[in-house]
């Protein structure tokens, strides 16, 4: 991944030359390629709406996708999109100026969802659910208007883990953010190419590249969010047992329906005694440990 002066996307101008950064960049690119291949995200000739909030994760997503496209490894058209939700003090010129300077095709959309959220959410309740729903609806609309077949989001490995534990502790279900899904209307894919990328890698990458990071002051202004509590719990586990996050993430890719207790996933009633021909490659096989 050596860059020649005439063979580098503008998003990587000024990239640090250190061995540490080169390893970081290579790891992130490999993680993204693995997710794209594993979950079958590429439709040759498709157009993707790449959602850019201005945070570290979306900058990393944007850079890596353009890296892959630049090198002929991602045969899709990319359109960056920022939804300005009308938050007071939001630096509206930062992203369009950055994207123009980088030569990245983009669309900036203004929709004042901030006022709706502040009006509808009772005092003391979190903004995230309504804010996310309004944002997603607008992004779907923009994708249709721009002829895109997929909305591409910057959720990373740690977002997926946190969502799993939120559902486990507060939602009463085993579920998380899938790396690929189809929207309810059935006309758009939703992709998360950073699904295998650690949040810390996104943070170190975006800061090393000195991208103009914009914080989310809406949800960031609320204390005691359930997601913050889960993040703190995972941080503590990681400090006590380094590598715990990756081990848990790997477990999400290694589910055994026969070792759960959901009768919709495994036919416990039909399970009979007798010799069973075990198939090690069949996740339905009730192999005990």
pLDDT value of residue 279: 55
- Closest among 80, 144, 135, 87 to 107, alpha carbons compared: 80
Taken in order of first residue, the domains within the chain and their CATH numbers are 10-250 (3.40.50.620), 262-289 (no CATH)
pLDDT value of residue 1: 44
SS3 per residue for the chain: CCCECCECCHHHCCCCCCHHHHHHHHHHHHHHHHHHHHCCCCCCCCEEEEECCCCHHHHHHHHHHHHHHHCCCCCCEEEEEEEECCCCCCCCCHHHHHHHHHCCCEEEEECCHHHHHHHHCCCCCCCHHHHHHHHHHHHHHHHHHCCCCEEECCCCHHHHHHHHHHHHHHHCCCCCCCCEEECCCCCCEEECCCCCCCHHHHHHHHHHCCCCCCCCCCHHHCCCCHHHHHHHHHHHHHHHCCCHHHHHHHHHCCCCHHHCCCCCCCCCCCCCCCCCCCCCCCCCCCCCC
Predicted structure pTM score: 0.88
Interatomic CA distance for residues 51 and 248, integer angstroms: 27
Residues forming a β-bridge with 182: 189
What's the average pLDDT block by block, 10 residues per block, for the chain (289 residues)?
A: 63 93 96 97 94 95 96 96 85 93 95 78 71 87 97 97 94 95 96 98 96 72 71 95 96 94 93 68 52
């Amino acid at each position: 991944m050596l860059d020649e002066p005439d063979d580098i996307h503008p998003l990587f101008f000024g990239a640090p030359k250190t061995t540490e950064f080169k390893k970081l960049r290579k790891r992130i690119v490999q993680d993204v390629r693995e997710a794209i291949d594993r979950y079958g995200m590429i439709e040759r000739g498709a157009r993707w709406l790449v959602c850019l909030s201005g945070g570290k994760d979306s900058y990393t997503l944007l850079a890596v996708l353009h890296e892959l496209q630049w090198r002929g490894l991602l045969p899709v058209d990319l359109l960056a999109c920022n939804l300005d939700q009308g938050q007071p003090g939001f630096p509206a010129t930062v992203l369009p100026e950055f994207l123009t300077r980088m030569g990245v095709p983009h669309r900036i959309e203004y929709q004042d969802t901030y006022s709706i959220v502040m009006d509808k959410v009772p005092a003391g309740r979190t903004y995230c659910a309504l804010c996310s729903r309004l944002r997603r609806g607008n992004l779907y609309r923009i994708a249709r208007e721009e002829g895109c077949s997929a909305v591409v989001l910057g959720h990373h490995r740690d977002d997926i883990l946190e969502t799993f534990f939120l559902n486990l502790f507060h939602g009463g279900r085993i579920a998380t953010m899938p790396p690929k899904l189809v929207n309810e209307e059935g006309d758009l894919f939703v992709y998360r190419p950073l699904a295998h990328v650690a949040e810390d890698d996104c943070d170190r990458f975006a800061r090393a590249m000195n991208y103009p990071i914009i914080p989310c002051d809406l949800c960031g202004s609320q204390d005691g969010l359930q997601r913050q509590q889960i993040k703190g719990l995972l941080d503590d586990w990681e400090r006590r047992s380094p590598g715990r996050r990756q081990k848990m993430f790997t477990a999400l890719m290694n589910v055994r329906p026969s070792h759960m207790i959901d009768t919709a996933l495994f036919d416990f009633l039909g399970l009979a005694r007798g010799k069973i021909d075990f198939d090690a490659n069949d996740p339905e096989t009730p192999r005990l440990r």
